[in-house]
Chain A
Amino acid sequence: MPQNSFGLISKAAAVYAKDLRLELRTKYALNAILMFGITTLTVVSFSVGQSGLPPKLLSSLFWIVMFFSAMSGLAQVFVREEESGTALALKLTTDPDAIYWGKLGFNLTLLTIMTVIIAPIFFIFTDAPTDNLVLFALVLFLGMIGLCGATTIVAAIIARASVKGALFAVLSFPLLLPLLLVLVKATEKVLLGVSFSSVATELQFLVAFAVVMIVGSVMLFKFVWLD
């Protein structure tokens, strides 16, 4: 591997480790995400009960909870830098690419923690079928990468705006709509207990979406971050 790649990896790892350390000390984004996720899931599951909801409805509810929980915390990764006045020091010190990869990794970690907590609660509260958990985990994993790929660049765009929260959701929604529709469809099929080949088209879309979002973001990030 060339020297530059090692440099980029170690710088991105430092940004990631710093964000993780700050989050563990403040728990700002994590609390926001988990509080929203668990509260919504609890309210929804108590409202609809455990009476064998159809997979389509279960799948939609799950991704609505995931989407809004993600919206409540993923923007923090850049908003915190702008609000605390540390963005300038970062801009002057390191490559935009290292910052993007570090922040993307951090958001992915946040979303993974959220999913690890929310998904089991979802299965327990809604009595959703658990026959196809490996495929469910695969859809979830690809969905998380797509969500993070799209929302990390949007978080960088809105970080300096005055109405950050609203703008984050408004800008993210059209970007994430195709992803959410496919995730709902794929999850519905998984809950129905179909085989891998039956969700292959959805999985292909999820991989393509994640790749396009991340590659596009890497190309755009420098301009968003420095201008």
Chain B
Amino acid sequence: MIKKIIFQSVFFSFLSLEKVFAAESGGMPQLNPEFWISQIFWLTITFGILYLVLSKLILPKISANLESRKSQISDNIEAADKQRDESDAKLKEYEEIISKSKNEAKNIYNQSREKALKEINAKRDILDKQIDEEIKKAEDEINQLRKDAPTKINKIAIETASELTKKLIGAEVNNSSISAIVDDLSKRNGEKYYGN
């Protein structure tokens, strides 16, 4: 409806243009006060309405739009910053956990290794001791045997000699004279039998 009116009035203005051009007028039309009041009136009306609608309806909306965009963008940036910080913290935490567990694993390895070494050493010490003891015992026994051997042999020799003489000559020989002979023999040939 408004469109139609505007169209009609524009069309009408073109029609009346001819009339104006036909009527030649001198000087500046701007200084002709005929329509001054009309122009002031319509300027006040149109500019007043324009100002009112712009200031009350349209400009606050544009301002709000701009504000909301600005705040949305800054919110998004803030959120992105926050998330980046969070991910950084997570990454740090993760790295910490990894290094901690690495240390732990190292510790456990070292400890068990030490323990094992200690056990092995202890066992070896015990075994060494036992072996030493056994060797000592055996050596003692050998020494004892070696110490005892000449006297026993002498005794056996004395007894065998007296028995032999008794059987051979049938005479009782004094044990002491036999032992003297044996001692003498053993002293002379001892080295041959008992070594060292």
Partners in one complex: no
